[in-house]
A and B are shown apart, each in its own frame.
Chain A
Amino acid sequence: MKVVYCDVLVIGGGLAGLRVAIGVRQRGLDAVVLSLVPPKRSHSAAAQGGMQASLGNVVKGAGDSEDVHFEDTVRGSDWGADQRVVRMFVETAPKAVRELAAWGVPWSRVRRGDREVIINGQRVTITERDAAHGLVAQRDFGGTRKWRTCYVSDGTGHAMLFAVGDQAIAHGVPVHERREALALIHDGSRCGGAVVRDLVTGELIAYVARATVIATGGAGRLYRVTTNAVICEGIGAALALETGVAALGNMEAVQFHPTGIFPAGILVTEGCRGDGGLLRDAAGHRFMPDYEPEKKELASRDVVSRRMAEHIRRGGGVPSHFGPHLWLDITLLGRAHIERNLREVKEICHYFLGIDPAKDWIPVHPAQHYTMGGIRTDHTGESTTLRGLFAAGEAACWDMHGFNRLGGNSVAETVVAGMIVGEFVADFCQSPRGNLDLSTALIADAVAAERAALDALLASRGDESADVLRAEMQQAMTDGVGIFRTGADLEAAVARLQELLVRSRRIGLRHRVDGPNPELVTAYRVRRMLKVALAMACGALARRESRGAHFREDFPRRDDARWLCRTLATWPRPGDSTPTLNYEAIDVGAMELPPGWRGYGARDYVDHPDTPQRAAQVAATRERLAGAGREEVQQALMPFRHLLPPRLRAGNDRLPESAA
């Protein structure tokens, strides 16, 4: 048996995984990163639009602060987020942008003086301040009150991933590419690494580590149409689920992005709308103001996607061979702007649609985009139920997004979580809790179990095709667990997924070799993906309310009285056909921002019984501290700074709002 020993095993070489690995290296520990693909090809590279951080350098961002970013994020989450974690996040995001600037990210910069921008369909001139010249610039994104999204043209994720990837090389972090974690090694209470398959040779290797970090990204490929890369299959969530101990949080919270190009689902960035692009229907009518007079195209993503689907249902869609779609119009931004700031969009339109977005409208339809749910952790990033297992990035439910994440908050989460969780992972390894004494027999058994499962698959004469099962799963999720959900559709989806899970035991392969074998890979993954899909579908069926991206037509109101809680899914026995659901209450009494209206979307919701009292307390505190600084007020409402690693506790400087 081949065994690799390390202090920290990081499963995933995207932004989150690499940043965690650098963090623990800086603390003198050795980390090994696993990745299905060369790390710079991870899906983080595809982020176009940008990263939120309240730097407030542009004039439309002046007056921004951690407080405003905090409120926008909590409203965006529909109060599903852990507010302390949101505070930790917004406090660290500016530091993350600045760290990346120091690592070489060529952030787009503010240029002093007048410039023309499009706001609400109108061309207006704004004047950037002299004092801000050359500082990192921000653009507008959905669901934010200030222009807060820092960007590198529209290749933000690429530039970030390359800078972080380069730093990982500089720090000597080894990345074992084309190696896939198949199962976690654990004894029911302590995680000690993973069983890993070499995708080139087929060899199984045990990686034994004091801390294991899952940073495997999202699960978009559970759906038929998604903006996600083909490797975003939710395997990290499955790794945790299959321990039977670790829990997944809020898996029913799935985001659909308004502007996937139709029908391929490839994303064109929210920056298109942030920079002034409009949504139009078959008649060329700009319909969003009819539904959302306040934020129009720039309401949060869940709201815009829902309104688009609603408008299509009402007959506003453009008919086509592949079904109805809507239009995204960025022609009004002008060619110069598109060629400078929306270049990936232009390339995508050119190569995949054969159109020129400076002249033509872009056919769009909402597509699965982001997995808010994930491996449930505490604020340090550690699983609340399996010691030594950590998670970061899109794979985690840390939980700063609740039921809807804001555009630009995800790449921000990856690096921020990397900075914070990396410190806590190092603390863990350097403390007695980090001691590891798993028996060699346990490790050997874990490897043997995976070997046996693979051998059985390779020998199976079963009559089911892995590709067919995957396609049926994607269809079931698309039909039943989409933008609009009902009890009946969800029940049907659960039943279909359960049937697929049973059938997946009879998968037979046409190609029976254990080296580079894509069919074998699909076969073992689809079984795992089905469990994650069931966690989503069952969670959605059980949650009889609407919150953020989870919208139940039969329960259209947000119901804080009964559902202000986080869904926790576990899979205690391998033979189970459904996950076990439990709930974790979210304490209104500890909230800095008690539940209310989001400022867009539906206005009616059922209050939690504690909300009025907490709202009164918050108001009284604010009144009592009327003359005090905003940090003092914040500290009185919901202390959080002590939760941050010491080196990240300092406040953030920014230009004064009054700067000229």
Chain B
Amino acid sequence: MSEHRRIRIHALRHNPRDPASEPRLQTYELEEQPGMTLFLALSEIRERQDPSLAFDFVCRAGICGSCAMIVNGRPRLACRTLTRDFPEDVTLLPLPGFELIADLSVDTGKWMRALSERLAAWLHARQAEVDLSRIEEPMDPDLADRIYELDRCVECGCCVAACGTARMRADFVGAVGLNKIARFSLDPRDRRGDGDYYELVGDDLGVFGCMTLLGCQDVCPKELPLQTQIAYLRRRMARAGA
């Protein structure tokens, strides 16, 4: 049997609903197992050491985007973060920019829903009523692939947490919002044009608020081409606003 490392997880503890609660770091020590992810480590802590530690995991496979948190200073999906890639000390903080529920759990759901409502981020179909019995409209296969590239966003919130603008303006739409606009504007099934998108993101809370610091693209767990999309959108919006 090989010797396993002892690792120390320092997790932020705070329950904002409890008037007596003060934010503090709490340290848990445990033995690292082969292939241990932060999902496995935190689950073990909860089962064996501290049943009160709050965090969010759902798919635990890097697909659903629930478990974004700050791991040693950087936003990541905790479920697919292997402890072996880190030193013995790992500090976990909740994702900034979102309402804290407790400890490492934040309310990304409410934020993302509000964003979708504000940006009308759904497909605005050209046709009011589609006859579902008829053969579907064809679409260029490459275009479908390109739309999917942008559709892969999982709304995890990492890009918001890493964004300089979001830190200064709480209602900045973030790379997640701009990417959604880019996605729908690429989709020929959506009837909206640049003029419509300009109304939604043609200001400092939208595409002109981005300071191109590249934080979003660096941390995006799905490796979305966020900066290119934003740059491209900015050019088009500048034209639409002119």
Would you call B122 and A104 a contact (CB within 8 A)?
A: yes
Task: Choose among B17, B37, B152 the residue with the greatest number of A CB atoms under 10 Å from its CB.
Answer: B152
Q: Is A43 an interface residue (CB 8 A)?
A: yes
Do A515 and B102 contact each other (CB < 8 Å), given the known contacts A102-B125, A104-B122, A351-B62?
A: yes
Partner of A177, one of B47, B109, B145, B189: B109
Would you call A650 and B144 a contact (CB within 8 A)?
A: no
In which size bucket is the chain A interface? 35 or more
Which residues from chain A contact B52 at a C-beta distance below 8 Å?
510-511, 513, 517-519
Would you call B64 and A510 a contact (CB within 8 A)?
A: no
Would you call B66 and A348 a contact (CB within 8 A)?
A: no
Partner of B141, one of A45, A99, A111: A111
A175 closest partner in B (C-beta): B113
The digit string for B37-52, where 1 denotes a CB below 8 A from any CB of A, is: 1000000001100011
The segment from B129-137, B211-219, B233-241 that touches chain A is B129-137
Number of cross-chain contacts by CB at 8 Å: 202
Q: Is A435 an interface residue (CB 8 A)?
A: no
Which residues from chain A contact B189 at a C-beta distance below 8 Å?
101-102, 104
Partner of A107, one of B80, B117, B144: B144
Q: Is A499 an interface residue (CB 8 A)?
A: no
Report the minimum CB–CB distance from A265 to chain B (whole Å).
9
Partner of A652, one of B17, B101, B130, B133: B133
Would you call B54 and A516 a contact (CB within 8 A)?
A: yes
- List residues 197-225 of chain A with CB under 8 A from any CB of chain B: 200-201
Would you call A348 and B154 a contact (CB within 8 A)?
A: no
Would you call B61 and A102 a contact (CB within 8 A)?
A: no
Bound Cα distance A611, B19 (Å): 70
Report the minimum CB–CB distance from A603 to chain B (whole Å).
37
A96 closest partner in B (C-beta): B132
Partner of A467, one of B51, B102, B109, B148: B51
Task: Choose among B51, B63, B117, B138 the residue with the greatest number of A CB atoms under 10 Å from its CB.
Answer: B63
Report the minimum CB–CB distance from B33 to chain A (whole Å).
10
The digit string for B136-171, where 1 denotes a CB below 8 A from any CB of A, is: 111111001101100110110000000000000000
Main secondary structure of the interface of B (DSSP, over half): loop
Q: Is A229 an interface residue (CB 8 A)?
A: yes
The digit string for B71-92, where 1 denotes a CB below 8 A from any CB of A, is: 0000000001010000000000
Q: Is A95 an interface residue (CB 8 A)?
A: yes
The segment from A131-139, A297-305, A545-553 that touches chain B is A131-139
Would you call A229 and B59 a contact (CB within 8 A)?
A: yes
Q: Is A152 an interface residue (CB 8 A)?
A: yes
Q: Is A126 an interface residue (CB 8 A)?
A: no
Bound Cα distance A518, B103 (Å): 12
Q: Is B7 an interface residue (CB 8 A)?
A: no
Q: Is B10 an interface residue (CB 8 A)?
A: no
Which residues from chain B contact A162 at a C-beta distance below 8 Å?
151
Would you call A516 and B109 a contact (CB within 8 A)?
A: no
- List residues 38-87 of chain A with CB under 8 A from any CB of chain B: 38-43, 45-46, 55
Partner of A109, one of B109, B140, B154: B140
Would you call A516 and B105 a contact (CB within 8 A)?
A: yes
Would you call B148 and A650 a contact (CB within 8 A)?
A: no
The segment from A163-171, A185-193, A376-384, A578-586 that touches chain B is A163-171
The segment from A140-148, A153-161, A388-396, A613-621 that touches chain B is A153-161
Would you call B15 and A229 a contact (CB within 8 A)?
A: no
Q: Is A334 an interface residue (CB 8 A)?
A: no
Q: Is A332 an interface residue (CB 8 A)?
A: no
Would you call B82 and A351 a contact (CB within 8 A)?
A: yes
Q: Is B112 an interface residue (CB 8 A)?
A: yes
Q: Is B231 an interface residue (CB 8 A)?
A: no
Q: Is A282 an interface residue (CB 8 A)?
A: no
Bound Cα distance A135, B134 (Å): 12
Q: Is A397 an interface residue (CB 8 A)?
A: no
Would you call A46 and B187 a contact (CB within 8 A)?
A: no
Which residues from chain B contact A624 at a C-beta distance below 8 Å?
none
Q: Is B18 an interface residue (CB 8 A)?
A: yes
Which residues from chain B contact A43 at a C-beta distance below 8 Å?
58-59, 64
Would you call A347 and B62 a contact (CB within 8 A)?
A: yes
Q: Is B173 an interface residue (CB 8 A)?
A: no
Which residues from chain B contact A429 at a C-beta distance below 8 Å?
none
Report the minimum CB–CB distance from B197 to chain A (whole Å).
15
Would you call B135 and A38 a contact (CB within 8 A)?
A: no
Report the minimum CB–CB distance from B136 to chain A (whole Å).
5
Which residues from chain A contact B187 at a C-beta distance below 8 Å?
104, 106
Q: Is B53 an interface residue (CB 8 A)?
A: yes
Q: Is A597 an interface residue (CB 8 A)?
A: no
Would you call A200 and B190 a contact (CB within 8 A)?
A: no
Would you call A135 and B135 a contact (CB within 8 A)?
A: yes
Would you call A515 and B139 a contact (CB within 8 A)?
A: no
The digit string for B90-129, where 1 denotes a CB below 8 A from any CB of A, is: 0000000000011001001110110011001111010100
Which residues from chain B contact A107 at a C-beta distance below 8 Å?
139, 144
Would you call A229 and B64 a contact (CB within 8 A)?
A: yes
Q: Is A266 an interface residue (CB 8 A)?
A: yes
Would you call A152 and B148 a contact (CB within 8 A)?
A: yes
A-B contact pairs, 17 of them (CB 8 A): A38-B108, A40-B154, A41-B64, A41-B109, A45-B64, A98-B136, A102-B125, A104-B184, A106-B144, A108-B141, A109-B139, A135-B136, A153-B148, A159-B148, A354-B82, A511-B52, A516-B102
19 more contacts with CB within 8 A, not counting A38-B112, A42-B58, A471-B47, are A46-B64, A102-B130, A104-B184, A108-B145, A137-B141, A153-B145, A163-B123, A177-B109, A264-B35, A321-B34, A344-B63, A351-B62, A352-B62, A352-B80, A509-B51, A510-B52, A517-B52, A518-B51, A653-B133
Q: Which residues of B contact A (CB under 8 A)?
A: 15, 17-18, 34-35, 37, 46-47, 51-54, 56-66, 80, 82, 101-102, 105, 108-110, 112-113, 116-117, 120-123, 125, 127, 130, 132-141, 144-145, 147-148, 151-152, 154-155, 184, 187, 189-190
